[in-house]
Structure 1
Amino acid sequence: MKKILSILIVFITISSQAQLKKWTLIECVQHALENNISVKQSELDVEAADIDRLTAIGNFIPSLNLGTSVSENTGLSFNPVTNNAQTTTFLGANGNINVGYTLFDGLRNIRTVQRAKISKLASQYRLDKMKDDISLFVANGYLQVILNKANLEVFKSQNQVTKEQIQRTDDLVESGVLPRGDLLEIQATDASEQQSIIIAENNVRISLISLAQLLLIKDYETFDIQDEGYDIVDGGIADRSISEIIAKARETRSEIKIAEQNVELAMKDFQIAKGANWPTLSAFFGYNTRYTNATSFTSELDPDNPVITEQIGVVQGTGQAVIGEFPNTILTETGADPFADQIYLNDGIGYGLSLSIPIFNGFSTRGNIKRSKIDLERTKFQLEQTELDLESTVYQAYVDAKGALKSYDAAKSALESQQLAYDYSKERYDVGFANAFDLSQSKLRFDNASIELNRAKYDYIFKLKVLELYFGIPATELKF
C-alpha cells in the first residue's frame, strides 16, 4: 500500500511539474523548427533535390535490363528454335540481357548532375530562409505575450495603489476632511482599472493561444511562457553603419543566395538545351537464347532401301529414258533437347554503336534554347531586384531600429516625468490642495506612460533582433 501511495505521489508531482512548465524563447523556436508544417515541406524539398541528384549521377552508369517470355502455342506456329512452321502444341521460352551506355550526349548528363547539385543547394537555402522567418514569427509572438503580461502587471500594480487610495480617501471623508465626491471619483477610477485588467488578461490569453497555434501546440489551457529575464541585449549592431550591415546582408542572407542559385540553375538549363544540338553516341550489347519443348523431324537414309531409282527424262531423238538414283530418306520425329542444352546451343549475342544526329525537329530544340536563354536573363533581373529589395529592407530595418530606440528613450523620459507629476499630485491631494479628479487624471497619464514604455521596449527589442538577423546572426543564436 505504501509503495502504491509513493508511486501516486511521484506521478502527481510529475504531472504538476508538466502542467507548470513554462516555455523559454529558445524552446519555442526549436519546437517550431521541428514541427512547423512549412519547415517540414522545405525539408522534403531538400530530400527531393537529393533524389534528383542521385538520378542524375545514375545516368553515367550503364543500363542493364533482363527480359524473358513464356508462351504456349497450338495449331500452325513457327518453332522458335528451327523457325519451321508446324501444326502442334508446344511450349516456348525466350530470354535476353541488354546493356546500354551513352558515350556522348552533348555534355547533357554532366550538366544535369551539376544542375542537381545547384538545385539541392538552392533548396537548402530556401529551408534556411524558412527557418529564419519562422524564428522571427515565434520571437514576435513571444515578445507580444511578454508585452501583454507586462501591461497586465502595470494595471494590477496601479490598481493596488488605487485601492490603497480609496481606503485613505474613505477615512478622510469619514473625518470630514474631503468631500464624498472625491471618494466616488477614485472608486470610478478603480472600476475603470478593473475593466482594463480584464481586457489585459484577455490579451494575455489571446496572445498565448496565438503563440501556441504557431507552435502547433493544442493544449492551450496549460501553455505558458517564461516571461522573466528578457531585456535589451545589444551586441553592438546598433553602432554599426548602414553600409556595413547591407554588405554583410548581401553575403549571408538566404534571399540573395537563392536568387544566385536560380541564376546558376537557369544557366545549366540553357547549357542542357544547347547540348541537344550535338549528336548522341551510344553503345549497346545484347545476349539472347531460347527454348521449346516442341518435337522436330529429321531426314535419315532408309537402311533397308537407301537408294531409289527414278526416271528424270528422255533422250531427244531416240526416246530413251534417262534414269537417276536418289537417296531414299525417311522423316523421323525426335523429341526436344534438354533445357540446359538448348539454352547453350540456341544463344546469340549482338553489340555495336548507335549514332543519332539531330537534323530537324520542327524548331523544337531551337525554341527550347531561346526559351532557356530568356529564363536566364529573367533570373539575372530577379537577382538584381532581390539585391535592391534587400538593400531597401535592411535600410528600413535600420531606420526602424534607430527610431524604436529613440522612441524607447523618449518613453523612459516620459515615464520619469509622469512619475514625478503623479507623486506631486498625490502629495497635493493628501494635503487637500488637489481634488480626486486631478489625481485620477495624473495617475491615468502615469499608467499610459508605463504601458507606452513597455510597448517601446519590446518593439525596440524585436526590431533590434531583425537587424541582427540581417547582419548574419543565425536566428537560433539571437540573444534577448
Structure 2
Amino acid sequence: MNKIIFLLIAFFFYCFSLLGQEQHWSLQQCIEAGKKNSIAIKIQQLDIKKAQKEHNSVGNQFLPTVSFTGNQSYNFGSTINPSTNGRESSNIQNDNFNLNAQMSLLDFKAIANAQKSKIAIELSKETLKIVENEYQLQILESYYQTLFTQELLKIQEEQFKNSEFNLERVKKEVDIGSKSKSDWYDMQLSFAQEEKRILETKQLLLYQKKQLFQLINIENTAIEAVLLNVLIETTFSQTITIDNNPKLRYAKLNYESSLADAKIERANNLPSLISFYSFSTFYFKTLNRLNVQTVDFGKQIKDNKNQQVGIQLDIPVFNGFRNSKRLSALKIEAEKTRLLIEQETLKVKNQIDLENQNKQNYIKLSAKLQEMKGFAEVSFRSSQAKFSTGIIDAVVFSTVKNQLLTTAYDWLKNQLQVKYVDQKIALLKGEMY
C-alpha cells in the first residue's frame, strides 16, 4: 500500500513538473501543425483525389463499351410470329437477347475532354497550394503579433525589477526621514501603473496565444507556458521571380482550361468514326395452340442468332449556327481568363513591391531607433543616479524609465518586422514551408 501511495505521489509531481515547463514553438512548427490539422486543407486534398478519379486518359476514352440487353414480352391477339414473320391470331411469348459493343476510332471531342480533365487535376492541386499559402500568411501574421507582445512583456518585466528595487529603497529612506512621504506616494503610483501595464500585456499575450493555437487547430491547456522562438532563420531564396505564386499559376491553368473548352466545342464540328459489333438471338413460344410443338430453347437460341459488324462515320453538316455561337462565347471567355493572368501578376508584383518598401523603411529606421535606445539607456542611468541623490523626483524618473521601455521595444519590434516582411515576401512568391 505504501509503495502504491509513493508511486502516485511521484506521478503527480512528475505531471506537475511537465505542466510548469516552457513549451517552445517556432514559426515552422506552427505552420506544420496547422497544415496537418487544417480542415480546409483536408477538404481540398479530397477534391484532388476526386479530380484524379474523374480523369480519363486519351487511351481510356477510346476503350470499347460493351452492353448486354435481355427482355421478355407477351403478345396477345393479332401478333407477328417470329419464325414466319407473318401476322396471325396467337398469344406468343418472346425472349430477346442482345450483346452490343462500340468503340471510337476517331473522336476529337474525346481527346479534348481528356486534356481538360487532366488540367482539372492541376487546377485542384493549385487550389490546394492557394489554401496552404493563404493559411500560412494568416499563421505568419498571428505568430508575429503574438511575438511582439511576448517581447514587450519581457522588457516590461525586466524593468519592473528596477521598480521593485527603487520602491523598496524609497520606503527605507522615508522610514529614516531622508525622503518625504510624497516621494513614497509617487513611487507607489508609478509602481501600480507598471503593474497594470504588465497585467494588460499578459492578458493580451494570453489572448493572442489562444488565437494562434485556435488558428492551427491545437487545444493547448498549458497556453501560458508557451514561448515563441525569436531567432527565426530565413532560408528563402532572394530571387525576384513570382512564377511560383499559386494564384498566378492557377490563373494560367484556368486560361488553359478555357482553351480546352473551346477545343471541345470546336470538336462538335469535326467528324467522328465509330466501329460497332452486335450479337442477337431470340426465343419464342406459342401459348394458345396445344397442337403446336415448340422448338427447344437451346436450339432456338442457336438457330436464331444474328451478328452485325460495321463502321459509322458521322460528319456534322449544319446545326443552325449553335456551335459557332457557343465557340465565339468561349473564345471571349478565354480572352477574359488571359487578362486575369495579367491582373493577378500585377496584383502580386504590387504587393511584393509594397512589402519591399516596408522592409527598406524598417532598415532605414533601425539605425535611428538604435541611436535613440542608446540615448535612453544613458538618460536612464543618469536619472537613476539623480533620483538616488534626490535631485529629481519620482515622477520625472518614471517618465525617463518609460522612455527607455518605449525605445527598447520600438527597436526590437523593428528588427522583428524586417524578418516578418522577409518571410511574407517569400510566401507571396510561392516559397512555402
Q: Distance in 1 between matches of 2:223 and 2:280?
A: 70
- 1:376 and 2:334 matched: yes
1:186 is displaced (CA, Å) by 1.4
Contact 2:77 2:89 in 1 (8 A): yes
TM-score (norm 1): 0.80
| Counterpart residue number, 2:221 | 221
- What is the letter of the counterpart of residue 212 of structure 2? L
Q: Distance in 2 between matches of 1:58 and 1:17?
A: 58
| Counterpart residue number, 1:61 | 63
1:75 is displaced (CA, Å) by 6.0
1:439 is displaced (CA, Å) by 0.2
| Counterpart residue number, 1:429 | 387
| Counterpart residue number, 1:388 | 346
1:15 is displaced (CA, Å) by 9.3
Contact 1:408 1:460 in 2 (8 A): no
Contact 2:26 2:232 in 1 (8 A): no
Gaps of 5+ in 2: none
Equivalent pairs: percent with the same residue?
Answer: 21
Q: Distance in 1 between matches of 2:8 and 2:75?
A: 77
- What is the letter of the counterpart of residue 381 of structure 1? L
Aligned residue among 336, 361, 369 for 2:319: 361
Matches within 5 A, 1:115-264: 115-217=116-218, 219-223=219-223, 227=227, 229-231=229-231, 233-234=233-234, 245-246=239-240, 248-250=241-243, 252-264=244-256
Q: SS of 2:206's equivalent?
A: helix
Contact 2:61 2:111 in 1 (8 A): no
- What is the letter of the counterpart of residue 324 of structure 2? R
| Counterpart residue number, 2:42 | 40
Quickly say closer, same or farther: Cα 1:9–1:62, change in 2 above 3 A.
farther
1:143 is displaced (CA, Å) by 2.3
Moved more, 462-471 or 279-288: 462-471
Quickly say closer, same or farther: Cα 1:454–1:353, change in 2 above 3 A.
same
Q: Distance in 1 between matches of 2:138 and 2:415?
A: 18
Aligned residue among 48, 51, 59 for 1:49: 51
Moved more, 184-193 or 274-283: 274-283
1:14 is displaced (CA, Å) by 7.0
Quickly say closer, same or farther: Cα 1:100–1:10, change in 2 above 3 A.
farther
Between the two proteins, the alignment pairs up a number of residues equal to 431
Q: SS of 1:333's equivalent?
A: coil
Quickly say closer, same or farther: Cα 1:140–1:358, change in 2 above 3 A.
same
Q: Distance in 1 between matches of 2:121 and 2:5?
A: 56
- 1:475 and 2:411 matched: no
1:94 is displaced (CA, Å) by 2.1
Q: SS of 2:213's equivalent?
A: helix
Q: Distance in 1 between matches of 2:277 and 2:347?
A: 56
1:78 is displaced (CA, Å) by 4.8
Aligned residue among 420, 424, 434 for 2:378: 420
Q: Distance in 1 between matches of 2:330 and 2:63?
A: 27
Superposition RMSD in Å: 3.1
Moved more, 164-173 or 353-362: 353-362
Q: Distance in 2 between matches of 1:463 and 1:43?
A: 29
Quickly say closer, same or farther: Cα 1:171–1:264, change in 2 above 3 A.
same
TM-score (norm 2): 0.88
Q: Distance in 1 between matches of 2:366 and 2:29?
A: 28
1:67 is displaced (CA, Å) by 1.5
Aligned residue among 98, 101, 109 for 1:99: 101
Contact 1:28 1:215 in 2 (8 A): yes
Q: Deviations over 1:324-344 (max 9, x none)?
A: xxxxxxx9421x333322222
Gaps of 5+ in 1: 298-330
Q: Kindly indicate which of the two structures has a greater share of residues assigned to helix.
A: 2
Q: SS of 1:475's equivalent?
A: coil
Q: Deviations over 1:136-186 (max 9, x none)?
A: 221221222222222222222222221211111111122222221111111
Q: Distance in 1 between matches of 2:10 and 2:77?
A: 87
Q: SS of 1:283's equivalent?
A: strand
Aligned residue among 413, 422, 427 for 1:455: 413
